């Protein structure tokens, strides 16, 4: 197939190579910008600080989860378990809240790392396909979270509530945390040996093995990081809700995260990671939903438009992926 | 014989095909007559595969005319060409590995029973009957992948020929066959010739061409270099046509660019080996292989395909799980099964399959070169861009890697330059021993010469080299000492004056008889 | 029998064997397990997922995946209930037509553009859910089934089993023949096993892919319609995550997610296995349904690990 599709790819690429390259690299930024501009012009109260804050707070969990997802997808993998990990983190947080919010947070994050390690071990050491390995975790871990905390539990721990609702210089703490995590992941991808190894493994696993890269360890680590980030997102979301809701927290967030990564131009075929574009992808989807709601278009529209955007983004970026 | 006067069944008239930046075929004409076996030869990049793809409907020509059975032809898809009676056997087996042998053989032509439903019993019976004629005796219900590569190739051939074919194109059909299977294949080809089917035979193995082919067409740099009866063409003349070098030049220089004088190497014998493999064993693959390489020595591994050469190299770097054996580097045992440990100890492998096991296509030239050396090119897990730039610059210059910039995607380079990038990747980790598995396969003549000269140079500098090559000439001229493998075991060691093509072939043959 | 044959047999029929084992264990452990009533409830509640899993099996064997089936299931139910106002024919044809068209569109995009099925059907999942919400006033309207005959299709019983069970059995048998004994079935296996080779062997790759996604869409719509008939209404909140259950069942049934191998009987066994696990956990009164998820997840992990080991064993010989 490679030969036949690359031939087709070649034919199109000859006609408009620059256009495709440009759309792939900057399309998501342009789309966010265009949407912002539209809102500034046509949406009343759009520029209010409170509106901005709401939008950012809402998108935070998706941004954090999609950072991990981008790493996983860069290795040619996928992590479907992130939503369930968020639920598990919510359950663990409320169970250990008696020891203080920080110990609870640490336990929750460790729980996420353990789930990530389980998925990573299945993928790296047993050789199970990422999609099935993490599907098993999606089902099982959600169940586990529900077994631990069968129904919604509200809490009044001031530390945790503060984490979810306080601001520094007008910017919510959880948004700052997401920004800091973005910077860290960006640094890891661009400037560390580990980051280079992740993309190399995604680009060609057997070549990486023969080049002496610790392939299995890197793969395992990537899933651990994804689990860790998802757990953190779960704790932050719980802090904001002021309630632990393992039944519905993080449902379908794996789809939103994959969407953000894909819309950001990271190919599902691996070997490339675009961190900032992934964050932009998440923002774009959030902004889109907000815009439609502000203009009194129902939720059904949002989903259909999202579907179109996913298709358009992948269609525009597929050329480089097939090469 | 009035075969030469028959009208061509498939004919290319002044075909041109252009790709971005290259003219792959330039005014090429070729006539394929019924009942002839026509050799198509040329170096890599000469345009053979492009021409085949034009014949089989994968590519449309940009200029010229394709004629089939006396009329103009334009195949839009490989399927159209196939339906018209042009069958192709590709280099790699193009079947479905997980489907059964019978279903592969008869896909699309399964015998039907009641209600148009496939009659399984009839299908298996027919498959057994057909395959018996090709020397394949196996349970046709087994998944195809459980068969040996040779048998799989035979199934592919049987499939192609059993439909109504007028032209059969074979692209390197013997590259993975055992000698016995090659004989069966030649038998089949002769039968096809008797049936008046035109066979186009693409191969690098000159012996085979002279055995089965009637005529030959030589392509060079996308142009027709020669076409005519094969028997009248002297072997050396054929080679010079392919390489585009003057005949006398070929005679005097040989065909490779190795220049080191291997006779003057005996002093090396006194040195302790830098890498020593003892009793490498893996069921069905390797049977107690001992190999050692001294500093500055080029050790060749000879033998037929499947003799265990690639496996030996992979075993040494820990990329092949072993049942027994040990690898010592400078006297210290290496941790089994760890490529990373081997590389740290100074042993690196340039793999045979550049695309599948070598380059990382999504990364730039720079990243590809730095890949293996990354831990050394930074501190505490953070890479130093300056150090990488320095290393990349040194090796791009030394190996004369032709790229628009270090940031160009490696997948956009030519095969020869990709190979140099991989060599740079390994030289950047400063190995003591390099294992080179077919280092010049599939790269153009110029790059081949450069790589060969580099091997010499590295050995002069004291690097140990294990050289695997199917090109006997390259092996003989490049290596100081040659180990001949057969069926996973070392069956002979040649050094000094014994290092000749004849002796290698004799060593393989001797053992085959005994 | 050698090791290769043993492992192949286990891979292909492992799910049926485990199912048998689990039924025996369940019968021995719980008195109320092996009763006709319990068996009927497991079979009936499994039948809708089984119909979807049949389509999914074709898709996965062809090397693809279809994430849109959960949304199509809901959409099918809503459309069937809506259509039932115009009689039985409309109640059946409307969901089939719409879901078939969605499958057709997805198939065309996948086959023609070469985009990853995962992404295309992910968009399908979202888009179809949006469509479903759009025709049900954002999920606020629940259409009731108004055609008696149609409702009977989902509710009436024959020998203690409701009609959908027989529909499922008939579909499964037809699918087996289609997969094993027709040219189309062979093409599906060939594409999933080696797409490039299949194309060179004359398999109409694009067309076969399109058919496969149309089938999957049709079956998901049919399952939704039958479910609506059973519940007498087009419920808008069911079916979320059903695509993952279907994939899990197919994988448990021994179909490789990489494509090219697998079968219908395994998938049906996989669906029943999930149902039996749930039933057994229900028998243990003290456990909540969340435990069923834990066990299902663990079981799925176990199956894929076992499959890896089995396929390694086959390659060694």
What pLDDT is attached to residue A54? 86
Candidate from B357, B367, B371 with C-beta closest to A206: B357
pLDDT per position as a tens digit, B359-387: 999 899 999 999 999 888 888 889 999 99
Q: What pTM does this model have? A: 0.84
Q: Measured between CA atoms, how close is B339 to chain A, in angstroms? A: 5
Q: What's the average model confidence in pLDDT over A125-153?
A: 90
- Are A200 and B360 within 8 A, CB to CB? yes
Range of the domain at C142: 10-316
Q: Measured between CA atoms, how close is B98 to chain C, in angstroms? A: 6
pLDDT at A319 over 60: no
Q: Measured between CA atoms, how close is B33 to chain A, in angstroms? A: 29
What pLDDT is attached to residue C154? 81
Q: How many A×C Cβ pairs under 8 Å?
A: 156
- Are B382 and A213 within 8 A, CB to CB? no
Structure-block tokens of residue A88:
């598990």
**Quick check: B21 contacting A, CB < 8 Å?**
no
What pLDDT is attached to residue B514? 41
Q: Which residue of A has its CA nearest to B318?
A: A210
**Quick check: A166 contacting C, CB < 8 Å?**
no
- Are C65 and A131 within 8 A, CB to CB? yes
Helices (H), B107-218: 120-132, 149-162, 179-194, 206-212
Q: How far apart are CA A258 and CA A278, in angstroms?
A: 9
Q: What's the average model confidence in pLDDT over A62-71?
A: 96
**Quick check: B107 contacting A, CB < 8 Å?**
no
Average pLDDT taken over every residue of chain B: 84
What pLDDT is attached to residue B375? 87
**Quick check: A16 contacting B, CB < 8 Å?**
no
Name residues whose C-beta falls within 8 Å of residue A70's C-beta, 6 or more positions apart in sequence: A185, A261, A264, A266, A273, A274, A275, A278
pLDDT at A10 over 90: no
Q: How far apart are CA B350 and CA B492, in angstroms?
A: 24
CB burial class (10 A; 0-12, 13-18, 19+) of residue B96?
buried
**CA contacts within 13 A on the Cβ side of B254:** 15
**Quick check: A196 contacting B, CB < 8 Å?**
yes
Report whether CATH 3.40.50.300 matches the domain B3-85+165-253: yes
Q: What's the average model confidence in pLDDT over A202-206?
A: 93
pLDDT at A322 over 90: no
What pLDDT is attached to residue C160? 76
What pLDDT is attached to residue A15? 45
**Quick check: B90 contacting C, CB < 8 Å?**
yes
What pLDDT is attached to residue B3? 45
pLDDT at B52 over 80: yes
What string of DSSP letters covers B357-426? II--TTSBHHHHHHTTTGGGGEETTEE-HHHHHHHHHHHHHHTT---S-TTSBGGGS-HHHHHHHHHHHH
Query: Would you say residue A11 lies in a domain?
Result: no
Q: CA angle, C255 as apex, C252 and C259 as ends, to 5°? A: 140
For chain C, percent of residues with pLDDT exceeding 90: 39
Q: Which residues of chain C make contact with A305, given a CB cutoff of 8 A? A: 130
B:333-392 residues touching chain A, CB 8 A cutoff: 339-340, 342-344, 348-349, 351, 356-363, 367, 370-372, 374-375, 378, 381-383
Q: Which residue of C has its CA nearest to B285?
A: C316
**Quick check: B473 contacting A, CB < 8 Å?**
no
Candidate from B82, B94, B117 with C-beta closest to C196: B94
Q: Which residue of A has its CA nearest to C197?
A: A1
For chain A, percent of residues with pLDDT exceeding 70: 91
The residue of A15, A186, A193, A209 whose CB has the most chain B CBs within 10 angstroms, and thus the best one to mutate to test that interface, is A193
Q: What's the average model confidence in pLDDT over B404-413?
A: 87
Q: Which residue of A has its CA nearest to B364?
A: A200
C partners (3+ CB pairs within 8 A) are A, B
Structure-block tokens of residue A305:
């438009």
Q: Which pairing describes strands B489-495 and B481-486: parallel, antiparallel, or unpaired?
A: antiparallel
- Are C201 and B108 within 8 A, CB to CB? yes
The residue of A186, A212, A271, A322 whose CB has the most chain B CBs within 10 angstroms, and thus the best one to mutate to test that interface, is A212
Q: What is the ipTM of this complex?
A: 0.83
- Are C301 and A299 within 8 A, CB to CB? no
Query: Would you say residue C4 lies in a domain?
Result: no
Candidate from C125, C288, C297 with C-beta closest to A141: C297
Q: Which residue of B has its CA nearest to C183?
A: B108
Domain ranges in chain B are 3-85+165-253, 97-163, 256-346+432-514, 354-430
What pLDDT is attached to residue B270? 67
What pLDDT is attached to residue A282? 94
pLDDT per position as a tens digit, B451-507: 888 999 899 989 999 999 877 778 888 899 999 888 788 988 988 888 887 787 778
Q: Which residues of chain A make contact with B382, given a CB cutoff of 8 A? A: 191-193
pLDDT band at C17 (very low <50, low <70, confident <90, very high): confident
Q: Which residue of B has its CA nearest to A273?
A: B362
- Are C197 and B117 within 8 A, CB to CB? no
pLDDT per position as a tens digit, A285-318: 998 888 888 888 888 888 888 888 888 888 877 6
Q: Measured between CA atoms, how close is A292 to chain B, in angstroms? A: 37
Chain C residues interacting with chain B (CB cutoff of 8 angstroms): 4, 8, 177, 180-183, 186-187, 189-190, 193-194, 196-203, 260-261, 314-315, 317
Per the structure, the count of domains in chain A is 1
**Quick check: A200 contacting B, CB < 8 Å?**
yes
pLDDT at C68 over 90: yes
- Are C109 and A128 within 8 A, CB to CB? no
Pick left, alpha or beta for residue A88 (phi over 0 → left; psi -120 to 50 → alpha; otherwise beta). Answer: alpha
For the ranges A146-160, C23-37, C162-176, C254-268, the maximum mean pLDDT occurs at C162-176
What pLDDT is attached to residue B261? 62
Considering only the top CATH level, what class is B256-346+432-514? alpha beta
The residue of C194, C204, C261 whose CB has the most chain B CBs within 10 angstroms, and thus the best one to mutate to test that interface, is C194
Query: Would you say residue A91 lies in a domain?
Result: yes
Lowest model confidence (mean pLDDT) among A166-180, A306-320, B11-25 = A306-320
**Quick check: A135 contacting C, CB < 8 Å?**
yes
The residue of B20, B57, B346, B360 whose CB has the most chain A CBs within 10 angstroms, and thus the best one to mutate to test that interface, is B360
Per the structure, the count of domains in chain C is 1
Q: Which residues of chain B make contact with C315, given a CB cutoff of 8 A? A: 145
Of the candidates B213, B244, B218, the one whose C-alpha atom is nearest the C-alpha of residue B230 is B213
Q: Which residues of chain B make contact with C177, given a CB cutoff of 8 A? A: 117
Q: What's the average model confidence in pLDDT over B178-198?
A: 85
In 3-state terms chain B splits into helix, strand, coil percentages (rounded to 5) of 40, 25, 35
B:130-159 residues touching chain C, CB 8 A cutoff: 143, 145-146, 159
What pLDDT is attached to residue B249? 54
Query: Would you say residue C27 lies in a domain?
Result: yes
| B3-85+165-253 and B256-346+432-514 share one fold | yes
Q: How far apart are CA C68 and CA C76, in angstroms?
A: 12
At residue A109, the 3 state secondary structure works out as: helix
Q: How many B×C Cβ pairs under 8 Å?
A: 68
- Are B78 and C180 within 8 A, CB to CB? no
Of the candidates B419, B508, B441, the one whose C-alpha atom is nearest the C-alpha of residue B175 is B441
- Answer whether B219's CB lies under 8 Å from B42's CB: yes
Q: How far apart are CA B496 and CA C23, in angstroms?
A: 73
Phi and psi angles of residue C137, each rounded to the nearest 5 degrees, phi first:
50, 55
What pLDDT is attached to residue A323? 30
**CA contacts within 13 A on the Cβ side of B422:** 34
Of the candidates A266, A316, A278, A129, the one whose C-alpha atom is nearest the C-alpha of residue C115 is A316
- Are A306 and C116 within 8 A, CB to CB? no
- Are A300 and C138 within 8 A, CB to CB? yes
Q: Can you give the CATH number for the domain in which C40 is found?
A: 1.10.3470
Q: Which residue of A has its CA nearest to B320?
A: A210
Q: Which residues of chain B make contact with A193, given a CB cutoff of 8 A? A: 374-375, 378, 381-383
Q: Which residues of chain A make contact with C290, given a CB cutoff of 8 A? A: 143-147, 150
Range of the domain at A77: 60-254
pLDDT per position as a tens digit, B224-271: 989 999 988 877 777 777 766 555 555 555 556 677 665 445 445 567
Q: Which residue of C has its CA nearest to A260?
A: C119
């Amino acid at each position: 197939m490679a030969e036949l599709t690359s031939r087709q790819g070649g034919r199109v690429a000859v006609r408009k190579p620059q256009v495709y390259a440009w759309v792939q690299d900057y399309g998501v930024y342009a789309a966010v910008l265009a949407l912002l501009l539209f809102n500034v012009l046509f949406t009343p109260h759009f520029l209010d600080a409170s509106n901005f804050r709401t939008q950012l707070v809402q998108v935070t969990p998706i941004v954090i989860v999609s950072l991990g997802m981008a790493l996983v997808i860069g290795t040619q993998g996928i992590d479907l378990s992130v939503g369930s990990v968020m639920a598990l983190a919510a359950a663990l947080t409320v169970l250990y809240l008696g020891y203080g919010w920080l110990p609870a947070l640490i336990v929750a994050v460790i729980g996420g790392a353990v789930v990530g390690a389980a998925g990573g071990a299945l993928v790296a050491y047993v050789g199970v396909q990422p999609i099935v390995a993490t599907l098993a975790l999606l089902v099982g871990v959600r169940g586990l979270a529900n077994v631990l905390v069968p129904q919604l539990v509200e809490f009044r721990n001031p530390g945790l509530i503060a984490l979810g609702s306080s601001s520094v210089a007008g910017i919510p703490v959880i948004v700052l945390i997401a920004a800091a995590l973005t910077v860290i992941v960006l640094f890891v991808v661009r400037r560390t040996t580990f980051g280079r190894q992740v993309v190399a493994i995604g680009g060609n696993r057997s070549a990486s093995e023969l080049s002496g890269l610790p392939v299995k360890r890197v793969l395992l680590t990537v899933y651990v990081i994804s689990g860790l980030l998802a757990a953190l997102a779960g704790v932050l979301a719980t802090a904001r809700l002021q309630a632990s809701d393992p039944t519905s927290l993080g449902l379908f967030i794996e789809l939103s995260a994959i969407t953000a990564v894909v819309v950001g131009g990271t190919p599902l075929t691996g070997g490339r990671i675009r961190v900032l574009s992934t964050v932009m992808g998440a923002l774009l989807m959030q902004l889109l939903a907000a815009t439609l709601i502000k203009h009194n278009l129902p939720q059904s529209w949002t989903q259909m438009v999202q579907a179109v955007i996913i298709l358009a983004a992948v269609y525009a970026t597929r050329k480089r992926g097939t090469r | 014989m009035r075969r030469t006067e028959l009208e061509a069944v498939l004919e290319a008239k002044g075909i041109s095909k252009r790709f971005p930046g290259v003219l792959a075929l330039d005014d090429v004409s070729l006539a394929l007559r019924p009942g002839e076996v026509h050799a198509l030869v040329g170096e890599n990049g000469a345009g053979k595969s492009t021409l085949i793809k034009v014949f089989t409907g994968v590519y449309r020509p940009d200029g010229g005319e394709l004629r089939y059975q006396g009329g103009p032809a334009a195949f839009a898809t490989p399927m159209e060409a196939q339906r018209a009676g042009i069958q192709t056997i590709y280099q790699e087996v193009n079947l479905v590995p997980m489907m059964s042998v019978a279903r592969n053989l008869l896909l699309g032509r399964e015998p039907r029973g009641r209600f148009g439903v496939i009659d399984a019993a009839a299908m298996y019976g027919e498959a057994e009957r057909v395959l018996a004629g090709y020397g394949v005796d196996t349970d046709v219900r087994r998944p195809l992948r459980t068969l040996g590569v040779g048998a799989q190739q035979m199934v592919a051939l049987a499939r192609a020929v059993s439909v109504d074919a007028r032209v059969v194109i074979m692209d390197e059909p013997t590259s993975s066959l055992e000698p016995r299977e090659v004989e069966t294949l030649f038998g089949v080809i002769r039968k096809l010739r008797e049936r008046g089917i035109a066979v186009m035979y693409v191969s690098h193995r000159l012996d085979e061409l002279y055995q089965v082919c009637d005529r030959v067409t030589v392509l060079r740099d996308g142009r027709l270099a020669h076409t005519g009866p094969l028997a009248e063409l002297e072997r050396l003349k054929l080679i010079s046509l392919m390489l585009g070098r003057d005949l006398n030049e070929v005679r005097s220089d040989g065909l490779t660019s190795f220049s080191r004088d291997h006779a003057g190497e005996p002093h090396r014998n006194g040195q302790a080996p830098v890498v020593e493999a003892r009793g490498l064993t893996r069921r069905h693959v390797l049977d107690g292989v001992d190999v050692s390489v001294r500093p500055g020595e080029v050790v060749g591994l000879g033998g037929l395909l499947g003799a265990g050469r690639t496996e030996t190299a992979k075993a040494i770097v820990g990329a092949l799980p072993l049942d027994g054996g040990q690898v010592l580097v400078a006297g210290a045992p290496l941790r089994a099964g760890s490529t990373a440990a081997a590389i740290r100890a100074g042993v690196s492998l340039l793999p045979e399959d550049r695309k599948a096991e070598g380059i990382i296509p999504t990364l730039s030239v720079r990243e590809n070169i730095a890949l293996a050396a990354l831990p050394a090119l930074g501190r505490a897990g953070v890479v130093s861009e300056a150090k990488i730039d320095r290393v990349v610059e040194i090796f791009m210059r030394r190996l004369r890697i032709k790229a628009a910039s270090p940031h160009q995607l490696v997948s956009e380079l030519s095969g020869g330059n990709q190979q140099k990038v991989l060599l740079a990747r390994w030289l950047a980790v400063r190995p003591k021993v390099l294992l080179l598995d077919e280092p010049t396969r599939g790269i153009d003549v110029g790059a081949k010469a450069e790589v060969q000269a580099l091997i010499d140079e590295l050995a002069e500098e004291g690097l140990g080299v294990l050289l695997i090559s199917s090109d006997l000439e390259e092996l003989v001229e490049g290596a100081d000492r040659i180990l001949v493998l057969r069926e996973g075991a070392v069956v002979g060691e040649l050094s000094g004056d014994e290092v000749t093509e004849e002796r290698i072939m004799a060593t393989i043959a001797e053992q085959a008889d005994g | 029998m050698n090791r290769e044959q043993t492992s192949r047999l286990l891979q292909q029929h492992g799910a049926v064997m485990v199912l048998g084992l689990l039924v025996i264990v369940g019968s021995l452990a719980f008195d109320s397990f092996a009763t006709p009533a319990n068996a009927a409830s497991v079979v009936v509640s499994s039948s809708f997922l089984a119909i979807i899993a049949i389509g999914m099996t074709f898709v996965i064997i062809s090397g693809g995946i279809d994430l849109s089936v959960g949304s199509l299931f809901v959409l099918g139910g809503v459309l069937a209930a809506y259509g039932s106002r115009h009689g039985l024919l409309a109640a059946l044809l409307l969901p089939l037509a719409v879901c078939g068209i969605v499958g057709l569109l997805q198939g065309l995009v996948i086959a023609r553009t070469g985009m990853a099925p995962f992404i295309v059907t992910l968009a399908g999942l979202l888009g179809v859910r949006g469509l479903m919400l759009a025709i049900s006033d954002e999920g606020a309207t629940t259409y009731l089934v108004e055609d008696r005959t149609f409702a009977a299709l989902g509710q009436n019983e024959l020998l203690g089993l409701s009609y959908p069970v027989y529909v499922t059995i008939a579909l499964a048998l037809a699918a087996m023949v289609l997969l094993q004994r027709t040219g189309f079935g062979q093409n599906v296996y060939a594409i999933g096993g080696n797409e490039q080779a299949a194309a060179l062997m004359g398999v109409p790759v694009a067309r076969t892919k399109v058919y496969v996604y149309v089938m999957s869409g049709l079956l998901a719509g049919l399952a939704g319609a039958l479910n609506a008939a059973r519940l007498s209404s087009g419920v808008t909140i069911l079916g979320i995550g059903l695509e993952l259950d279907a994939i899990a069942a197919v994988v448990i049934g021994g179909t490789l997610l990489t494509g090219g191998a697998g079968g219908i009987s395994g998938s049906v066994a996989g669906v029943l296995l999930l149902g039996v696990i749930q039933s057994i956990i229900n028998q243990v009164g003290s456990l909540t349904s969340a435990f069923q998820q834990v066990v299902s997840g663990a079981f799925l992990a176990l199956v894929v690990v076992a499959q890896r080991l089995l396929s390694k064993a086959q390659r060694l010989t």
